[in-house]
Structure 1
Amino acid sequence: MCREEDFLKLPLNTPPELQRSDLSLSVLQLKALGIDNIVRFEFPSAPPARNLICAMELLFALGGIDEDGELTKPLGEQMAELPISPTISKMLLVSGEQGCSKEIATIVAMLQVENVFVSGRSDKVKVMKRRFEVEQGDFLTLLNVFYAFEKFGMKKNWCNSNALRYKALKRAADLRDQLFKTLRRLEVPLTSTSDEDCVLKCIVSGLFPNAAYLHHSGEYKSIRGDVPLKVHPTSVLFTEKHPPYLVYNEINHTKHVYMRDVTAIDPCWLEVLAPHFYENRRREREIF
């Protein structure tokens, strides 16, 4: 319920999702269908041109399209085959070269399911969740949860005693098997590592556009754009000491802009893995 004057301020119809969502995956799939001039494509509900341009810039930064706007081979074509965000598909496809494809496939599968932790604010639930948490953040925490689930036989009773959702974890296991089959088909080697930094670097290779730094005001800001951001309350890093730099999987717009699925990173990795994306930003900081 709301006041009549507030109700009258609302738009008559909700804007189509195409006009308010990330278009990078849609643009990638249109490119794969042979549609070259995306800006002049007749969408059912035409999105703002700025959104299309931002999607093209992101795909170029990820290496999915070249300077002529064509799909790159094989990376761009392979990214178009995966029905997930291009940032996540890039992370998955390069994981074989970086020697951690099994870990990345596991993390990607865990990101596709609902919250694996039982919701609750009791001290008992919090203590159980702490068993799996790591200081680096949510990605490695999800990896720990799945490996523990796998180690103890994927049993429902074990999930109940550790405040975990059995159906969500079982679904993640099925998705991981599907990802393994897809990686084999795409000739991405299935490799594994015990080096956490290797896994984190691979995550940064795909999620570098979603990097943020801790501002002196105490809140996070995106490195490109300086948009104020906050760590989501469900994140491991919400109650921990905030790292100077991090990357996130997605953002939620409510009263504030919250980052979900975050992990701490070394800022040097951004300069090594994505110098083309942050070069202008670095120059601006040097000037000011």
Structure 2
Amino acid sequence: MKVLVTGCRGQVGTYLKKQLKYKDEVEVIAVGHEELDITNGSAVINLVTNFQPDFIINAAAFTAVDKAEVDRELAYKVNRDGALFLAKAAELVNAVVLHISTDYVFDGALNRSYIETDEPSPNNVYGASKLAGEKAVIKYCSKYIILRTAWVFGEYGNNFVKTMLKLGQEKKELSIVGDQYGGPTYAGDIASTLISIAEKINNSNDVQYGVYHYSGGAYVSWYDFSVEIFKSATERLVLDRAPILNSIPTADYLTPAERPANSCLNCQKIETQFGIKPSNWQQALNNIQAYI
């Protein structure tokens, strides 16, 4: 099995590179922006046609949600055009595209968890650019898995857990949004999920391609999540004390990009089709000393 991984230095890409290294009979090329600019169509085609991968796992993305409101052109260039070029190249060599997308393709207005067939309606540029990337993959590649995920965290890159731990060291009191809900998702679990899907596709012709949701199994607010982060950090002596936490409404914490109030993703489809259970984010916090 030959696998091309893009975005190999990002949160998920780092885990993909590490986990694939220990797989027998898997040949991997893992690239970051320095090795491959996915917005350069000819560069993408050259690499893909030379390597002839069976799978292209696209973990590259412009993920700075607030910055995307200002730098709209770059967000679309990476999240839409990059996905388009990878999809077209994959089709040339009959490869499967595994493409990471986001809960932010939804506006968060539903009062239940989102299923894959719910109509996307992003309320910020980041979500709109990622939705455009999804559409490009669907249009130009016949064999694809689009994996929407949410609230990604891990030992690598920038994320909410790392931010909380840093602020917890600096401040005695923090105000955290308590009316936005979602499923925190460990980046290492996303990587293992993508690899598991690739292996199952590689070993079976009976695969339902399409869009899947994958996120943490227990939905919480950002405030609830921060409570668990500091509980784990103090129990494991990463922090001497937890700051005082105050739950505040979104209206009291305005950001350039509007966030969905409901980012809860229903993960039943991926469990039914692939036997993959939701990410255990509580367990991932047990290793919280690695996030400092």
TM-score higher than 0.5 = no
The TM-score by the shorter chain falls in which range?
Answer: under 0.3
Greater relative contact order: 1 or 2 (C-alpha under 8 angstroms, separation 6 or more)? 2
Larger Rg: 1
Greater helix content: 1
TM-score (norm 1): 0.26
